[in-house]
Amino acid sequence: MNIPVLSLLFVTVVWGATFPVLKIATAQLSGVETSALRFLLAALCMLPWALRAPRKAWWDGALLGALVLFSYVAQAYGLQFISSNRSAFLTSLNVLMVPLLGLLFGNALSWRVILAAALACAGIGLMSWDGGANLRADAATVAGAMGYALYVIVLSARASRHEARSLAATQIVWMAVLGGLWMLADAQGTDKLQTLGARLSAEILWGLAYLGIIATAGMLFLQARAQRQVTADKAAVIYAMEPVFAALFAWGWLSEGLTARAALGGAVVVFAVVFSEWKPAVRQ
Protein backbone atom coordinates (compact mmCIF):
# COMPACT_ATOMS: atom_id res chain seq x y z
CA MET A 1 0.00 0.00 0.00
CA ASN A 2 1.26 3.50 -0.82
CA ILE A 3 1.58 6.50 1.50
CA PRO A 4 -1.77 8.17 0.58
CA VAL A 5 -3.65 4.91 1.25
CA LEU A 6 -1.87 4.41 4.57
CA SER A 7 -2.67 8.03 5.46
CA LEU A 8 -6.38 7.42 4.86
CA LEU A 9 -6.20 4.23 6.95
CA PHE A 10 -4.73 6.28 9.79
CA VAL A 11 -7.62 8.74 9.36
CA THR A 12 -10.07 5.87 9.92
CA VAL A 13 -8.30 4.90 13.16
CA VAL A 14 -8.72 8.43 14.50
CA TRP A 15 -12.32 8.58 13.30
CA GLY A 16 -13.08 5.21 14.90
CA ALA A 17 -12.23 6.70 18.29
CA THR A 18 -14.69 9.56 17.73
CA PHE A 19 -17.74 7.30 18.13
CA PRO A 20 -17.32 6.63 21.86
CA VAL A 21 -16.18 10.24 22.39
CA LEU A 22 -19.33 11.50 20.64
CA LYS A 23 -21.45 9.03 22.60
CA ILE A 24 -20.17 10.53 25.86
CA ALA A 25 -20.50 14.15 24.64
CA THR A 26 -24.04 13.78 23.32
CA ALA A 27 -25.21 12.54 26.72
CA GLN A 28 -25.06 16.21 27.78
CA LEU A 29 -24.90 18.18 24.52
CA SER A 30 -27.09 18.15 21.43
CA GLY A 31 -25.68 17.05 18.10
CA VAL A 32 -25.61 20.67 16.88
CA GLU A 33 -23.82 21.89 20.03
CA THR A 34 -21.23 19.11 19.84
CA SER A 35 -20.51 19.79 16.18
CA ALA A 36 -20.38 23.60 16.52
CA LEU A 37 -17.96 23.48 19.47
CA ARG A 38 -15.61 20.96 17.84
CA PHE A 39 -15.51 23.01 14.64
CA LEU A 40 -14.80 26.20 16.59
CA LEU A 41 -11.74 24.57 18.17
CA ALA A 42 -10.65 23.23 14.79
CA ALA A 43 -11.07 26.66 13.16
CA LEU A 44 -8.86 28.30 15.79
CA CYS A 45 -6.11 25.81 14.93
CA MET A 46 -6.39 26.38 11.17
CA LEU A 47 -7.02 30.16 11.18
CA PRO A 48 -3.45 31.18 10.18
CA TRP A 49 -3.69 29.13 6.97
CA ALA A 50 -7.28 30.25 6.32
CA LEU A 51 -6.27 33.91 6.39
CA ARG A 52 -3.67 33.26 3.68
CA ALA A 53 -5.91 31.07 1.51
CA PRO A 54 -6.83 32.30 -2.02
CA ARG A 55 -10.41 33.16 -2.92
CA LYS A 56 -10.99 29.99 -4.96
CA ALA A 57 -10.14 27.87 -1.88
CA TRP A 58 -12.83 29.74 0.07
CA TRP A 59 -15.44 28.92 -2.61
CA ASP A 60 -14.65 25.20 -2.66
CA GLY A 61 -14.19 25.24 1.11
CA ALA A 62 -17.73 26.57 1.53
CA LEU A 63 -19.24 23.66 -0.40
CA LEU A 64 -17.09 21.03 1.31
CA GLY A 65 -17.63 22.57 4.73
CA ALA A 66 -21.41 22.60 4.33
CA LEU A 67 -21.43 18.91 3.33
CA VAL A 68 -19.22 17.88 6.27
CA LEU A 69 -21.20 20.00 8.73
CA PHE A 70 -24.47 18.38 7.71
CA SER A 71 -22.91 14.92 7.88
CA TYR A 72 -21.39 15.41 11.34
CA VAL A 73 -24.48 17.00 12.86
CA ALA A 74 -26.71 14.21 11.52
CA GLN A 75 -24.32 11.58 12.88
CA ALA A 76 -24.09 13.26 16.30
CA TYR A 77 -27.89 13.55 16.47
CA GLY A 78 -28.31 9.86 15.73
CA LEU A 79 -25.78 8.88 18.40
CA GLN A 80 -28.07 10.35 21.04
CA PHE A 81 -30.49 7.44 20.44
CA ILE A 82 -28.56 4.51 18.92
CA SER A 83 -25.39 2.58 19.82
CA SER A 84 -21.91 3.40 18.51
CA ASN A 85 -21.84 0.16 16.51
CA ARG A 86 -25.18 0.79 14.83
CA SER A 87 -24.18 4.36 14.02
CA ALA A 88 -20.89 3.13 12.53
CA PHE A 89 -22.76 0.65 10.32
CA LEU A 90 -25.25 3.20 9.00
CA THR A 91 -22.56 5.85 8.50
CA SER A 92 -20.45 3.43 6.49
CA LEU A 93 -23.19 2.89 3.94
CA ASN A 94 -21.38 5.71 2.14
CA VAL A 95 -18.99 2.96 0.98
CA LEU A 96 -21.69 1.94 -1.50
CA MET A 97 -23.14 5.43 -1.95
CA VAL A 98 -19.86 6.88 -3.26
CA PRO A 99 -19.46 4.64 -6.36
CA LEU A 100 -23.20 4.75 -7.09
CA LEU A 101 -23.42 8.55 -6.78
CA GLY A 102 -20.19 8.79 -8.76
CA LEU A 103 -22.06 7.48 -11.79
CA LEU A 104 -24.13 10.68 -11.74
CA PHE A 105 -20.90 12.68 -11.97
CA GLY A 106 -19.63 10.63 -14.92
CA ASN A 107 -17.14 8.53 -12.93
CA ALA A 108 -16.22 5.10 -14.25
CA LEU A 109 -16.48 2.05 -11.97
CA SER A 110 -14.17 -0.95 -11.83
CA TRP A 111 -15.54 -4.37 -10.92
CA ARG A 112 -12.87 -4.65 -8.20
CA VAL A 113 -14.04 -1.53 -6.37
CA ILE A 114 -17.72 -2.50 -6.69
CA LEU A 115 -17.03 -5.97 -5.29
CA ALA A 116 -14.84 -4.55 -2.52
CA ALA A 117 -17.56 -2.05 -1.55
CA ALA A 118 -20.20 -4.80 -1.44
CA LEU A 119 -17.91 -7.00 0.68
CA ALA A 120 -17.19 -4.10 3.02
CA CYS A 121 -20.89 -3.39 3.57
CA ALA A 122 -21.57 -7.10 4.17
CA GLY A 123 -18.80 -7.18 6.75
CA ILE A 124 -20.04 -4.01 8.41
CA GLY A 125 -23.52 -5.52 8.59
CA LEU A 126 -22.17 -8.65 10.32
CA MET A 127 -20.08 -6.58 12.67
CA SER A 128 -22.42 -3.79 13.65
CA TRP A 129 -26.07 -4.66 13.12
CA ASP A 130 -27.35 -5.05 16.67
CA GLY A 131 -31.05 -4.13 16.52
CA GLY A 132 -32.18 -1.19 18.64
CA ALA A 133 -33.71 0.68 15.71
CA ASN A 134 -34.85 4.27 16.09
CA LEU A 135 -36.54 5.58 12.95
CA ARG A 136 -35.59 9.25 13.29
CA ALA A 137 -32.03 8.53 14.47
CA ASP A 138 -31.49 5.91 11.76
CA ALA A 139 -32.85 8.22 9.05
CA ALA A 140 -30.65 11.10 10.24
CA THR A 141 -27.56 8.88 10.26
CA VAL A 142 -28.26 7.56 6.75
CA ALA A 143 -28.79 11.14 5.54
CA GLY A 144 -25.44 12.03 7.11
CA ALA A 145 -23.83 9.12 5.25
CA MET A 146 -25.28 10.47 1.99
CA GLY A 147 -23.86 13.91 2.75
CA TYR A 148 -20.46 12.43 3.45
CA ALA A 149 -20.53 10.37 0.26
CA LEU A 150 -21.06 13.58 -1.70
CA TYR A 151 -18.21 15.16 0.25
CA VAL A 152 -15.79 12.36 -0.70
CA ILE A 153 -16.74 12.71 -4.39
CA VAL A 154 -16.38 16.50 -4.44
CA LEU A 155 -13.13 16.38 -2.45
CA SER A 156 -11.53 13.92 -4.87
CA ALA A 157 -12.58 16.14 -7.77
CA ARG A 158 -11.32 19.42 -6.31
CA ALA A 159 -8.46 18.59 -3.93
CA SER A 160 -5.86 18.76 -6.71
CA ARG A 161 -6.81 22.39 -7.40
CA HIS A 162 -5.63 23.60 -3.99
CA GLU A 163 -2.84 23.41 -1.46
CA ALA A 164 -4.04 20.91 1.16
CA ARG A 165 -3.72 23.20 4.19
CA SER A 166 -5.60 26.04 2.48
CA LEU A 167 -8.49 23.80 1.45
CA ALA A 168 -8.73 22.15 4.88
CA ALA A 169 -8.51 25.49 6.68
CA THR A 170 -11.20 27.24 4.64
CA GLN A 171 -13.71 24.41 4.92
CA ILE A 172 -13.14 24.19 8.70
CA VAL A 173 -13.71 27.93 9.15
CA TRP A 174 -16.92 27.65 7.12
CA MET A 175 -17.97 24.69 9.29
CA ALA A 176 -17.36 26.74 12.45
CA VAL A 177 -19.34 29.74 11.16
CA LEU A 178 -22.27 27.70 9.84
CA GLY A 179 -22.24 25.44 12.89
CA GLY A 180 -22.28 28.42 15.25
CA LEU A 181 -25.22 29.97 13.42
CA TRP A 182 -27.04 26.62 13.49
CA MET A 183 -26.42 26.32 17.25
CA LEU A 184 -27.77 29.83 17.87
CA ALA A 185 -30.87 29.14 15.77
CA ASP A 186 -31.44 25.82 17.54
CA ALA A 187 -31.19 27.52 20.94
CA GLN A 188 -33.90 30.10 20.23
CA GLY A 189 -36.73 29.90 22.76
CA THR A 190 -34.76 27.56 25.06
CA ASP A 191 -32.23 27.87 27.87
CA LYS A 192 -29.58 25.86 26.00
CA LEU A 193 -27.04 28.69 25.82
CA GLN A 194 -27.49 29.61 29.48
CA THR A 195 -26.91 26.03 30.63
CA LEU A 196 -24.13 25.24 28.15
CA GLY A 197 -21.29 25.99 30.56
CA ALA A 198 -22.77 23.83 33.30
CA ARG A 199 -23.03 20.89 30.90
CA LEU A 200 -19.36 21.03 29.88
CA SER A 201 -17.62 18.63 32.24
CA ALA A 202 -13.86 18.04 32.11
CA GLU A 203 -14.43 14.73 30.30
CA ILE A 204 -16.56 16.41 27.64
CA LEU A 205 -14.05 19.27 27.22
CA TRP A 206 -11.22 16.80 26.63
CA GLY A 207 -13.45 14.96 24.18
CA LEU A 208 -14.25 18.17 22.29
CA ALA A 209 -10.54 18.97 22.12
CA TYR A 210 -9.88 15.57 20.55
CA LEU A 211 -12.81 15.94 18.15
CA GLY A 212 -11.87 19.48 17.10
CA ILE A 213 -8.08 19.56 17.05
CA ILE A 214 -7.16 16.00 16.06
CA ALA A 215 -10.20 14.37 14.42
CA THR A 216 -11.33 17.49 12.52
CA ALA A 217 -8.41 19.89 11.91
CA GLY A 218 -5.70 17.25 11.66
CA MET A 219 -7.64 14.63 9.73
CA LEU A 220 -9.32 16.97 7.23
CA PHE A 221 -5.86 18.27 6.33
CA LEU A 222 -4.51 14.72 5.97
CA GLN A 223 -7.60 13.72 3.98
CA ALA A 224 -7.32 16.69 1.62
CA ARG A 225 -3.67 15.83 1.01
CA ALA A 226 -4.15 12.09 0.51
CA GLN A 227 -7.24 12.31 -1.72
CA ARG A 228 -5.23 14.25 -4.28
CA GLN A 229 -3.90 10.80 -5.28
CA VAL A 230 -6.74 8.44 -4.29
CA THR A 231 -9.99 8.18 -6.25
CA ALA A 232 -13.31 8.70 -4.48
CA ASP A 233 -14.54 5.11 -4.85
CA LYS A 234 -11.27 3.64 -3.54
CA ALA A 235 -11.20 6.13 -0.66
CA ALA A 236 -14.73 5.08 0.30
CA VAL A 237 -13.62 1.43 0.57
CA ILE A 238 -10.70 2.45 2.79
CA TYR A 239 -13.09 4.44 4.97
CA ALA A 240 -14.99 1.19 5.55
CA MET A 241 -12.30 0.44 8.16
CA GLU A 242 -13.82 3.17 10.35
CA PRO A 243 -16.55 0.97 11.92
CA VAL A 244 -13.95 -1.76 12.58
CA PHE A 245 -11.95 0.64 14.71
CA ALA A 246 -15.16 2.16 16.11
CA ALA A 247 -16.29 -1.28 17.31
CA LEU A 248 -12.90 -1.95 18.91
CA PHE A 249 -12.87 1.40 20.69
CA ALA A 250 -16.51 0.99 21.79
CA TRP A 251 -15.69 -2.50 23.11
CA GLY A 252 -12.65 -1.34 25.06
CA TRP A 253 -13.93 2.08 26.10
CA LEU A 254 -17.70 1.78 26.53
CA SER A 255 -17.85 -2.00 27.13
CA GLU A 256 -20.18 -2.43 24.15
CA GLY A 257 -20.35 -6.07 23.03
CA LEU A 258 -17.98 -7.52 20.42
CA THR A 259 -19.26 -10.96 19.42
CA ALA A 260 -17.74 -13.65 17.22
CA ARG A 261 -20.06 -12.48 14.42
CA ALA A 262 -18.74 -8.93 14.84
CA ALA A 263 -15.15 -10.19 14.69
CA LEU A 264 -15.95 -12.11 11.48
CA GLY A 265 -17.50 -8.97 9.99
CA GLY A 266 -14.40 -6.95 10.85
CA ALA A 267 -12.23 -9.55 9.11
CA VAL A 268 -14.41 -9.29 5.98
CA VAL A 269 -14.00 -5.49 5.95
CA VAL A 270 -10.22 -5.78 6.31
CA PHE A 271 -10.19 -8.27 3.42
CA ALA A 272 -12.30 -5.90 1.29
CA VAL A 273 -9.85 -3.04 1.83
CA VAL A 274 -6.83 -5.22 1.01
CA PHE A 275 -8.66 -6.64 -2.01
CA SER A 276 -9.37 -3.15 -3.34
CA GLU A 277 -5.62 -2.41 -3.25
CA TRP A 278 -4.35 -5.80 -4.45
CA LYS A 279 -3.02 -5.86 -7.99
CA PRO A 280 -2.21 -9.25 -9.52
CA ALA A 281 1.25 -9.65 -10.90
CA VAL A 282 1.48 -9.31 -14.67
CA ARG A 283 3.23 -12.28 -16.28
CA GLN A 284 5.87 -11.20 -18.76
- Domain positions in the chain: 3-110+131-232
What is the pLDDT at residue 284? 43
pLDDT 10s digits, 135-171: 788 888 889 988 988 988 888 888 888 888 888 899 9
Contacts of 274 (CB under 8 A, 6+ apart): none
Q: Check if the beta carbon of residue 25 is closer than 8 Å to that of residue 34.
A: yes
Measured between alpha carbons, how far is residue 205 from residues 20, 29, 216 in Å? 14, 11, 15
For 138, other C-beta atoms within 10 Å of its C-beta total 17
pLDDT 10s digits, 231-266: 877 787 787 777 778 777 777 776 666 667 767 776
What is the pLDDT at residue 94? 76
Segments in the chain below pLDDT 70 = 1, 85, 106-109, 124, 127-133, 254-259, 262, 266, 270, 273-274, 276-284
Contacts of 106 (CB under 8 A, 6+ apart): none
Q: What are phi and psi of 83, to 5 degrees?
A: -75, 165
What is the pLDDT at residue 108? 66
